[in-house]
Structure 1
Amino acid sequence: MKYGSLILEKKEYVYLKRILNISGYAEDHDTQKSLMKLSEELKTAHITDDEEMPYDIIRFNSKVTVVFSNGIEKTIQVVIPMDKDVNTNKISVLTPLGSALIGYSKGDTILWDFPNGKQHVKITEVVQEETLSGIDIVI
C-alpha cells in the first residue's frame, strides 16, 4: 500500500460512514463481508482535507482502471449508491469492488474476497472527476 493506510477526504469519509450505517451491511452475504472489511479499514484510515488529498487516491467519482489476477482489465467509476449505472461502468461504493477500491491509490494491489473468491486487484490508473467535497452531504 503506497500510503500505508486508506486515505479519505473528510466529507467523503463522513458520507461513507453514514451510508455504511444505513445500509445495514446489505442482505447479500458476499457484499456484507466486503462492507464489514471496509468498515474495519476505515478505523485506521487517514482522514484529510480536500486540498491535501493526493491526486492518485480513489475517491467518489474517480475513474479507475484495474487488472484482476486472472488478467482481465476493467475501467470503472466508483460512485455513491444512487449514481450507480452498470451501462456506463459506474459502480456503487457499496459493491464488493467499490468497497475494495475506495481510499487506495494508483499502484496498489489489493487482495479482496469477491463473490467468485479471493482475487488480487492491481490499480493501474486513477483519474479524478468531480468529487463530493464541494457538496453538502445530507442523509
Structure 2
Amino acid sequence: MKGNIKITQLDYLRISKLIQAARNDKSIEVKNLTFLANEIYRAEKVDSKSITPEFVTMNSVVQVINEETKSTMMVKIVYPHEADFKKKYVSVLSPLGSALLGYKVGDTVQFSAPKGEVDITIQCIEYQPEADGKYNI
C-alpha cells in the first residue's frame, strides 16, 4: 500500500541516522534500507505530542492479520538492538517493521517474506508510546 503515512519527527531523525549507520557497516540488505528510507522520506513528519493513537510509531505494539491465512499476531516495532523473535519484537529495519511504521489501524500493507509477498492489515494498536505520554522512547 502506498497510502499517506505519518511518523514523529523524533522517529524520523533516529531512523535516518540508523539507516545511514546500517549502510556504512553493510549489516542490513540494501533493498530493506532503501524501502525504509523512501517511506520515511515521503511520510508526513509530525510532533510527538500531536500524532494520533491510530498510527504505528516506534515501540508501538501492533496486532496484525495475515490476509491470506487469516492468522493474527502481535508485534512490537523496535530498534535493531532490541529485536527478539521470541518476544515478537520486530526491528524497524526488517521488511515487516519497515512496512508497518507510519501506517494506521485499518491499513493493509505488503512486505517481502521468504515465501513471497505478504499482505497484512493493522487490526489495532495495543500500545503507542506517544498516546501514553512517552515522547522520547
Q: Does 1:21 align with 2:20?
A: yes
How far apart, in 2, do the equivalents of 1:34 and 1:134 lie? Answer: 25
How far apart, in 2, do the equivalents of 1:92 and 1:111 lie? Answer: 16
How far apart, in 2, do the equivalents of 1:20 and 1:28 lie? Answer: 9
TM-score by length of 1: 0.83
Name the % identity.
Answer: 26
Change in Cα spacing, 1:86 to 1:113, as seen in structure 2 (3 Å) is closer
How far apart, in 2, do the equivalents of 1:121 and 1:45 lie? Answer: 20
Q: Does 1:103 align with 2:112?
A: no
Query: 32, 35, 51: which is aligned to 2:33?
Result: 35
What is the correspondence of 1:1-139 to structure 2 with a 5 Å cutoff? 4-24=3-23, 26-27=26-27, 29=29, 32-71=30-69, 72-130=71-129, 133-134=135-136
Deviation of the 1:14 alpha carbon: 0.3
How far apart, in 1, do the equivalents of 2:32 and 2:123 lie? Answer: 21
Runs of 4+ in 1 over 6 A off after TM superposition: none
How far apart, in 2, do the equivalents of 1:42 and 1:50 lie? Answer: 15
Counterpart amino acid of residue 61 in structure 2 = K
Q: Which runs of 5+ in 2 are unaligned?
A: none
Q: Which runs of 5+ in 1 are unaligned?
A: none
Q: Deviations over 1:35-84 (max 9, x none)?
A: 31121122211001111101011111111111113222111101111211
How far apart, in 2, do the equivalents of 1:62 and 1:15 lie? Answer: 15
Deviation of the 1:129 alpha carbon: 4.3
Contact 1:67 1:123 in 2 (8 A): yes
Q: Deviations over 1:7-59 (max 9, x none)?
A: 11111110011101111185564xx3233112112221100111110101111
2:123 counterpart SS class: strand
1:33 counterpart SS class: helix
